[in-house]
Amino acid sequence: MEIYLDNSATTRPSKSAIKAMNIAMETIYGNPSSLHRKGMDAEKIVRDARKSIAESINAEASEIIFTSGGTESNNLGIRGFLERNTRLGRRIVTTSIEHPSVLNLFDHLEGDYEKVIVPVDSKGFLQLEDVKKSIDGNTALVSVMAVNNEIGSVQPIMETGKAVKALNPNTAFHVDCVQALGKMEIDVKRMGIDLLSGSGHKFHGPKGIGFLYMRKGIKISPLLYGGNQESGIRSGTENVPAIAGMGAAVREMMESKDANRRKMELYKASLIEGLKKNLTDCMILSDGPGYSPNIVNVCFKDVRAEVLLHSLENDGIFVSSGSACSSKKKGSSHVLEAIRVPVEYIGGAVRISFTWENNLDEIAFLIDSLKKNVEEIRKIIKGKGR
């Protein structure tokens, strides 16, 4: 038996995505910039995928730029905007629980910009008043992730967008939606979003492909210079097979988005109920309203997450001890530190993330496995303590 519950790290490509990629590689393999039929067929794949992605966030096709994934989209959107719009100000604002591709970029920019890191509360939520305090006439850009990748807290994107524009209409509002697509409603117009990052492998598309939404009228500088593909914003021959796969995945996701969300809500409720009934000394960080339906982060007191992860793996269960981008680094999660998780719990944090392809039988098996393995690990630790 294999139960994959690390879907916030990556999802398995759907059959429709794999089929679309195979067709693009085997049959429609032309360069989309070429003027012959092979090139035009490839260009159509790119055009159709661009349209599908735009429709999923209520954007226009011309506002979608293809990239290699979420990290590039975040860097291109933030750095590209700042380099192109130097007169707008020298203050940049983000939160304490952003993805490393945002926080590390802000660290890099700190010498040239005044970096403001807005804290979150103990539940992982941004407080609007704190955001408002950080914005002034010198603020060039505000970047906020829609759904946190470790604990699943959903931020008040619409309210934040309105507040940003009310305080400084020239401030760009960037939103990292890598974990949000398919889990919550995204409407760039209604939410006042100027720049948005997405990644195909988080919703059953392939790895190595993503996109940046760039609102019409927004100007950014490219990070790469070359043949002026993607409206001159992201040069390089488009990765047609990956674009085809992401386009197929987003169409499939949008066709069943309401049913998919109900499934994930059911799995999450079942897991949280099982944890509360069957395990002691565990802190569930993703419980209650305001969290994404696909993520449960639970901390087990006096248990090392890495040991528990491998014990679960022996039962055929795959979960994460944190985000995939930081799980190999030493030290505690910056997200769990930001929400002030007690020291006796923070080392035992496990992230369980579903997709609509999971089922209730898998959740039941996970609960049994957690109960067995947590108890065994604690017995071993207690025995060593003697």
Q: Report CA 221 to chain centroid distance, whole Å.
A: 24
d(CA 7, CA 23): 26
Q: Is 299 a catalytic residue?
A: no
| Catalytic site residue from 177, 282, 299, 325 | 325
Per DSSP, 13 falls in state P
d(CA 156, CA 178): 16
Other Cβ atoms less than 10 A from the Cβ of 281: the count is 14
Q: Residue for token digits 């879907």?
A: 7
Q: Which residues neighbour 305 within 8 Å (Cβ) at sequence distance 6 or greater?
A: 321, 322, 347, 348, 349, 350
User: Is residue 10 within 8 Å of residue 4, measured between CB atoms?
Assistant: no
Handedness of CA 134, 140, 146, 147 (dihedral sign): negative
User: Is residue 252 within 8 Å of residue 200, measured between CB atoms?
Assistant: no
Which residues on adjacent β-strands are paired with residue 147? 154
Residues with active-site annotation: 325
